[in-house]
Structure 1
Amino acid sequence: MSSSPSGEPADDHIRKTVRRKVAWRVIPVLALAYLMANLERTNLGVASLSMNASLGLTTATYGLAAGLYFVGYFVFEVPSNLAMARYGARKWLARIAITWGLVAAATAAVQGPASLYAMRILLGVAEAGLFPGVVFYFTFWFVPRDRAKMIALFGIGATVSGLAGPPLAGAILSLWPHGMLGMEDWRALFVIEGVPSVIVGLLIWKVLVDSPDQARWLTETEKAWLAKHTSSSAESTASRNPLRVLADLRVLLLSLSYFTKNAGGYALIFFMPQIIQSFTVERGAHYSTLTISLLSAVPAVFAAGTAVAWAASSDRRQERRWHSAIPLSVAGMGIAWAASATNPVALLIALTVATAGIGSVSGAFFQLPAAFLTGPAVAVGIATINATGNLGGFVGPYLFGILKDTTGSFLAGNLILAALLFLGAAIVFLPMFRPKPKDADATTSTKSDTSPADIA
């Protein structure tokens, strides 16, 4: 076997060279897009501190508005992924970013619950297809043994948005002079965070190319190597009928498990500022909007490191079920704990535990379909699970808001969401998801050696 100057087998040497080039070229801009997408979908939580009173929203109507985003997202996610396969990643991902930026900025013009509902649905329609679209796009650029790590690096954008989003939104609300340019502070927030997404869309248009054969920054040898190792997989993924994957009972059950994760996770995201505000007011404290937004970012600080370490543990051990079930259970315990917290410190710790659990699920969880879906069907399975599971992002916040209005506290909502998360953990332990000996052998033979530092 031929070797590179460093002594590595030639094929492995070119794989690492191509991986490094591609990672530096495509991941930063896509992670930035994912960061902006998460800001657009979650800044509603901080905006609600002043928006709800301005628009006359009850907790239930706010929860409905927060969740309706996922209705549009669900309906259009698979069609969006198919459209990207037809029109190319460069055009379609740029279109996604530009349209969600415009819709997010236009949300500043809403006048009541009905118009807010409409804009939240449109935001979901605009953003639909981003995550599975990137998963599909990666089938052109990374061999299967590298894709999970590359998806994790792409996901850093969501982590950063969790850290920076609430303080940034709180700062905008606190510093915007009332009525400047004829806008209330929460309206200014939507414009200020929406316009940069349009710029990111234009950046995607300029930086990305649809396929390796269009990449001037790859050598002909590298293009040929990628064509040999990825082209058949990408073509099959694009042409496969998604309904065949959707009919698989295991995909449906994983969708239900992911549904519980999103129900709990997005209820936390959208309501955490209100939970902190309500808790402190009950105890005679009155925190400013900026203080509440900073406190809302604390759980994400700890969750970011936990998620990376947990994903590394899953890859190192090549174990997925325990690494999916444990964080789901931890999230359930954290949410239940928050329901019984008796002081602000205990509440913040409980919310941090819940957030860390939620944030640590996806890395291992999205490797489960590979145990029963063969090569090219894995990406379609992920898209289906992601689309269906994201309906939890509608049900969780809406249910949470209804229970708050009905009972006068967040207690019932916390306990029900905790029960859902425990159900999600139990699903991944069904016998049908138990790894088979031959699967373990295959996994061992393709164990990834990629780390974030390795692309530097």
Structure 2
Amino acid sequence: MSTSTTTAQAWPAASVLDGAYKKASWHLIPFIFVCYLFNYLDRVNVGFAKLEMLDALKLSNTVYGLGAGIFFIGYVLSGVPSNLILHKIGARRWISVMMVAWGALSAAMLFVATPTSFYVLRFFTGVAEAGFFPGMVLYFTHWFPTQKRGQVMALFMSAIPISGLIGGPLSGWMLSHFSSGQGGMAGWQWLFLLQGLPTVVLGICVYFYLNDGIAQARWLSSEEKNAMQAALAADEQQRAATSNVGQSFGAVLRNGSVWMLGVIYFCIQMGVYAINFWLPSIIKSLGFESAVTVGWLSAIPYLAAAVFMVWAGRSADKRRERRFHVSLPMVMGLTGLMMAANFSSNALIVMIGLSMATMGALAALAQFWSLPAAFLGSAAAAGGLALINSLGQIAGFVSPFLVGWIKDATNSTDVALYILSSVLLLGAILVLRIPAKLVNR
């Protein structure tokens, strides 16, 4: 009997599965979405704090770029071991620990007084956050088969643009409202405190709300549990028939496809982090001095990206096509960056370019994760996903530092935007080298 026939026979009734997936989506995604929203907000709010922080502490753009990027040194070093711990002890316990730790460290950024204290706190915040995102990608593989993950990942990762949509105006308001030094603290200090503490509360909630897997979900019926587990087993069988990746972590390390995926993810993240850390500064350089105005204008690209990400996820699942749903948004992202660089004196065109860049980079980021999850078996997924994520997150160090260094050297971000466009183009070309049969499911 062929693999396709076996898979078709093993797949449960569609009506039961549809009901089960709706329950799982409504129970898991909104809560995890909120957790990821604060994860991303805590990671990139330093971009808004920069508007006051650099002058207050007499820091250069190079120091800021290094501090923004050093977070990812800790992140990269801790990514794989953190995900292996999550795989061993379960998502509920480990994610709770991570969120309490990084929320406390993010709030502690209010005590930064020197470049050294800035670097140290950013580094250990990266260590604490390292396992959250790859852990969530792994967690979704325990609930949803490959053909459901495009939309699931898009909904989950729409927390990134929503964090910009909410965080921009909120951060701008905080900087403005607390500018008079209430409680003896500056606006940027209040920003870190008020955006870090909710993560601690959410981390405690994780322990009581999340389930480690389908078997522990009391809100699913026995029939729904059996249907979802059978669907995952059939998906695993199909993946094993097409995958060229072994099931041990050692086999993952020896596989060239995994390393190429890490390079592709690095290319995408180079664009994403340039936008996250420098969008407020680029908008301010257009002549908008008010922090509130900068905050509202920075929300526009993220609003457009949130809508586009969800549409791209639905399109990818409907067509069961993955590669072009990653590569074409990357081309869109590099086009937007080049527009922002070429017309840097025209505020309208720069905003359109930044919106296109944000839409493309974030849609590619969300759809990328359908690629490795489609052919990494369950035994290899914990280490493989964390390895790919860690390789990509190196961009979180390189990108802000590169932009900051070029900004200090040339007093402009234009050259940096051209370089980032080239990197996105390289990534788009590499995506198309992945065999379609491995990922188009």
Residue 163 of structure 1 pairs with residue 165 of structure 2: yes
Relative to structure 1, is the Cα distance of residues 406 and 243 closer, same or farther in structure 2, using a 3 angstrom cutoff?
farther
The one of 263, 272, 295 aligned to 2:279: 272
- Counterpart CA distance in 2 for 1:154 and 1:322 is 20
Residue 392 of structure 1 pairs with residue 423 of structure 2: no
Name the amino acid aligned to 1:203.
Answer: C
- Which residues in structure 2 correspond to 1:4-403 (within 5 Å)? 11-230=13-232, 240-280=247-287, 286-341=288-343, 342-369=345-372, 373-374=376-377, 377=380, 380-403=383-406
Q: Secondary structure at the match of 2:59?
A: coil
CA contact (8 A) 2:65 2:405 kept: yes
RMSD (Å), alpha carbons? 2.4
- How far does the alpha carbon of each residue in 1:150-198 deviate from its partner, in whole angstroms, 9 at most, with x for none? 2322223223112111111001111115221111110000000001011
- Cα deviation, residue 301, structure 1: 1.4
- Counterpart CA distance in 2 for 1:176 and 1:385 is 40
Report sequence identity in percent. Answer: 38
- Counterpart CA distance in 2 for 1:294 and 1:166 is 6
- Cα deviation, residue 100, structure 1: 1.0
- Alignment match, 2:8: none
Q: How many residues align?
A: 422
- Cα deviation, residue 223, structure 1: 3.4
Relative to structure 1, is the Cα distance of residues 322 and 210 closer, same or farther in structure 2, using a 3 angstrom cutoff?
closer
Relative to structure 1, is the Cα distance of residues 39 and 57 closer, same or farther in structure 2, using a 3 angstrom cutoff?
same
- Counterpart CA distance in 2 for 1:40 and 1:330 is 27
- Counterpart CA distance in 2 for 1:269 and 1:370 is 25
- Counterpart CA distance in 2 for 1:143 and 1:327 is 24
Relative to structure 1, is the Cα distance of residues 45 and 94 closer, same or farther in structure 2, using a 3 angstrom cutoff?
same
- Cα deviation, residue 435, structure 1: 1.8
- Cα deviation, residue 228, structure 1: 4.5
Name the amino acid aligned to 2:258.
Answer: V
Task: Give the TM-score normalised by structure 2.
Answer: 0.89
Name the amino acid aligned to 2:331.
Answer: S
CA contact (8 A) 1:29 1:203 kept: no
Specify every segment of 5 or more residues in structure 2 that has no aligned partner in the other structure, as ranges.
Answer: 1-10, 241-245
Residue 419 of structure 1 pairs with residue 422 of structure 2: yes
Task: Give the TM-score normalised by structure 1.
Answer: 0.86
Residue 407 of structure 1 pairs with residue 407 of structure 2: no
More displaced, 152-161 or 35-44? 152-161
Name the amino acid aligned to 1:70.
Answer: F
- Counterpart CA distance in 2 for 1:273 and 1:112 is 23
CA contact (8 A) 1:46 1:170 kept: yes
Name the amino acid aligned to 2:249.
Answer: P
Relative to structure 1, is the Cα distance of residues 261 and 310 closer, same or farther in structure 2, using a 3 angstrom cutoff?
same
- How far does the alpha carbon of each residue in 1:375-395 deviate from its partner, in whole angstroms, 9 at most, with x for none? 654565433222211111110
Q: Secondary structure at the match of 2:219?
A: coil
- Counterpart CA distance in 2 for 1:226 and 1:318 is 20
- Counterpart CA distance in 2 for 1:28 and 1:355 is 23
- Counterpart CA distance in 2 for 1:423 and 1:185 is 40
- Counterpart CA distance in 2 for 1:309 and 1:225 is 27
- Cα deviation, residue 207, structure 1: 0.9
More displaced, 271-280 or 74-83? 271-280
- Counterpart CA distance in 2 for 1:330 and 1:137 is 30
Name the amino acid aligned to 2:80.
Answer: V
- Counterpart CA distance in 1 for 2:329 and 2:150 is 18
Relative to structure 1, is the Cα distance of residues 139 and 365 closer, same or farther in structure 2, using a 3 angstrom cutoff?
closer
